[in-house]
Amino acid sequence: MTARSAVLFDFGGVLTTSLAEGFEELGRELTGDPGLLRRLLTQDKESSALLVAHEKGLIGQREFEDGLAARLRTQGAVIEGPGLVDRMMGGLKPDEEMVALVAKVRAHGLRVGLLSNSLGDNCYAGFDLPALFDAVTISGEIGVRKPSRRAYAIACERLGVAPEQTVMVDDLEQNITGAARIGIAGIVHRDAATTSAELGRLLGPSGRM
């Protein structure tokens, strides 16, 4: 296997603590059902359409919040739209080990980029993305989202590398599957130590962490 020479990192759940856990906590708070938000966003047609439109930049945070709050109310939640995204993202904190890993990969002379599906107007607050990455690709700015092939292609173009040279680190398996469709190797992120070891394998001697 040819060693890869560049890495694309996801944001929520990779550079931060688990987004899924935050969704579960809000579900418990609203109705006692930790799976409520995930189920709506993945299985409810109206909710998933709102998320896709928001991540593509077709609707803003307020329209997304109002629409999702309406769907939550059909499930018994007592909630209004304003502030909903902040509540969804409220438990997220930087994963300092992963932030350090990005810096280590870059210090080895490898290209590093961010490829993220955006959620809300301020989800990247507190992160100096231009300082961390050689290139930043945000779904709401380019009009396509993972797992679209075009999202990965744009991220590689911005990073100046071919997909076959690249590794994608993401906490969602469907996004790794999407990346593989254009030749990008993938790591389903669970913790910093495991991801570091997998990167060392895929990047070869120049990427040993």
Task: Tally the residues of the chain.
Answer: 209
**Cβ proximity of 151 and 144 under 8 Å:** yes
pLDDT of residue 126: 87
Q: How far apart are CA 80 and CA 121, in angstroms?
A: 18
pLDDT digits (tens, 9 = 90+) for 79-104: 999 999 999 988 889 999 999 999 99
Task: Find how far residue 113's CA is from the centre of its chain.
Answer: 12
The CATH number of the structural domain formed by 6-17+93-207 is 3.40.50.1000
Between these two residues, 209 and 193, which has the higher pLDDT value?
A: 193
**Cβ proximity of 95 and 192 under 8 Å:** yes
pLDDT of residue 149: 97
Q: DSSP for 63-76, please give it.
A: HHHHHHHHHHHTTT
pLDDT digits (tens, 9 = 90+) for 28-45: 999 999 999 999 999 999
Q: How far apart are CA 56 and CA 20, in angstroms?
A: 20
Q: How far apart are CA 35 and CA 118, in angstroms?
A: 21
Per domain, the residue ranges of the chain are: 6-17+93-207, 19-89
Q: How far apart are CA 104 and CA 159, in angstroms?
A: 17
